């Protein structure tokens, strides 16, 4: 397996005295498909922001043996760390191929990249195949379905030769079939990359995670395989239990709302 592992030690992020990430340790092996789950506000996105240099943090984040903390965003990106955000950020007017071409960029002029060319770089061809977008390569990205835009964004990371992909809720808003296809795509990608996925969709996590870290209030509450994490009573208490319990019956509507009369003084 190629790719690099990520080692996080005592990571802390504080916003105006509020600690959003509170002493997190993580060991993500090369080729892992790690899901980060946890309730809203647990610190998942902030953790990824810290790894990618978007927010200031303390502690240690090592990737392929190199320390990331203190490095600017562009240097971290150049080390082969790529991320997606909750909403896809593709160039809607440009074709799928042009989007991938621009992402692959490296040293070509903008006009060369925008011109229709026969010689498609090998990395772009591979990314089209991996993401299943080959037949759509000449379509403007703006007409793609929601799921296809997310796959294009993953393809744009692949052509940049990233080694670690950090994906923020990649299946949010997707249909069931798109989720399945995305899970299979992530499994393929993780054959030669390390993949970290922030996710709220528990069914998706159960189907595709190779390992799971549960965050709660800025700390790692539990870690292990899907089965281990699901069996952890602390997780059941703060998260999975609640999430997997049936919705409570709605309380019967009161016949009339009685407003206490204001006492006359
Ligand atoms: N720039 C900021 N300034 C102040 N507080 C912030 C900032 N960014 C995040 N926070 C706070 O840090 C905490 C963690 O937020 P974060 O977005 O990392 O959680 P999350 O686990 O990703 O949640 P969600 O699942 O809802 O996206 C929250 O209480 C949030 O309000």
Nearest-angstrom CA–CA distance, 41 and 62: 24
Instruction: Please provide the average confidence, as pLDDT, over all residues in the chain.
Output: 86
CB-ligand 1 contact for 15 (6 Å cutoff): yes
Q: What is the pLDDT of residues 38-51, one digit of tens each?
A: 998 999 999 999 99
Tell me which of 39, 45, 167 to substitute to probe ligand 1's pocket, judged by most ligand atoms within 8 Å of the beta carbon: 45
CATH code of the domain in which 141 resides: 3.40.50.300
pLDDT at 86: 73
Residue 260 domain-assigned? no
pLDDT at 109: 59
Atom of ligand 1 nearest to the CA of 200: 25
- Mean pLDDT of the 195-220 span: 94
Residue 35 domain-assigned? yes
Residue 251 domain-assigned? no
Domain count, the chain: 1
pLDDT band at 201, cuts 50/70/90?
confident
Enclosing domain of residue 151:
6-242
Tell me which of 12, 13, 20 to substitute to probe ligand 1's pocket, judged by most ligand atoms within 8 Å of the beta carbon: 20
Strand order across the 66-67 sheet: 18-28, 6-15, 58-63, 66-67
Residue 206 domain-assigned? yes
Residue 259 domain-assigned? no
* 239 has a pLDDT exceeding 90: no
Residue 256 domain-assigned? no
Angle formed by the axes of helices 122-131 and 146-159, nearest 10°: 150
Here the ipTM equals 0.96
Local structure of residue 70 (DSSP, 8 states):
T
């Amino acid at each position: 397996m190629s790719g690099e592992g990520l080692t996080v030690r005592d990571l802390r992020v504080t916003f105006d005295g509020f600690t959003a990430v509170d002493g997190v340790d993580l060991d993500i092996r090369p080729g892992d498909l790690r899901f980060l789950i946890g309730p809203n506000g647990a610190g998942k996105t902030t953790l990824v922001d810290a790894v990618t240099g978007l927010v200031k943090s303390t502690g240690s984040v090592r990737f392929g043996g190199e320390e990331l903390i203190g490095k600017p965003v562009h240097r971290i990106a150049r080390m082969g760390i790529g991320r997606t955000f909750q909403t896809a950020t593709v160039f809607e007017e440009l074709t799928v191929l042009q989007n991938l071409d621009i992402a692959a960029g490296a040293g070509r002029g903008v006009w060369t990249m925008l011109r229709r060319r026969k010689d498609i770089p090998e990395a772009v061809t591979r990314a089209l195949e991996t993401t299943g977008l080959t037949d759509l390569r000449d379509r403007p990205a703006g007409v793609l379905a929601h799921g296809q835009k997310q796959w294009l964004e993953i393809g744009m990371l692949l052509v940049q030769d990233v080694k670690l992909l950090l994906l923020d809720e990649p299946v949010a808003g997707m249909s069931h079939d798109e989720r399945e296809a995305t899970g299979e795509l992530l499994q393929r990608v993780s054959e030669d990359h390390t993949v970290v996925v922030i996710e709220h969709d528990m069914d998706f996590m159960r189907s595709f995670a190779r390992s799971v870290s549960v965050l709660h209030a800025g700390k790692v509450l539990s870690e292990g395989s899907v089965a281990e994490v699901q069996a952890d009573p602390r997780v059941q208490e703060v998260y999975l239990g609640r999430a997997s319990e049936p919705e409570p019956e709605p309380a019967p509507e009161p016949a009339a709302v009685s407003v206490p009369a204001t006492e006359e003084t």
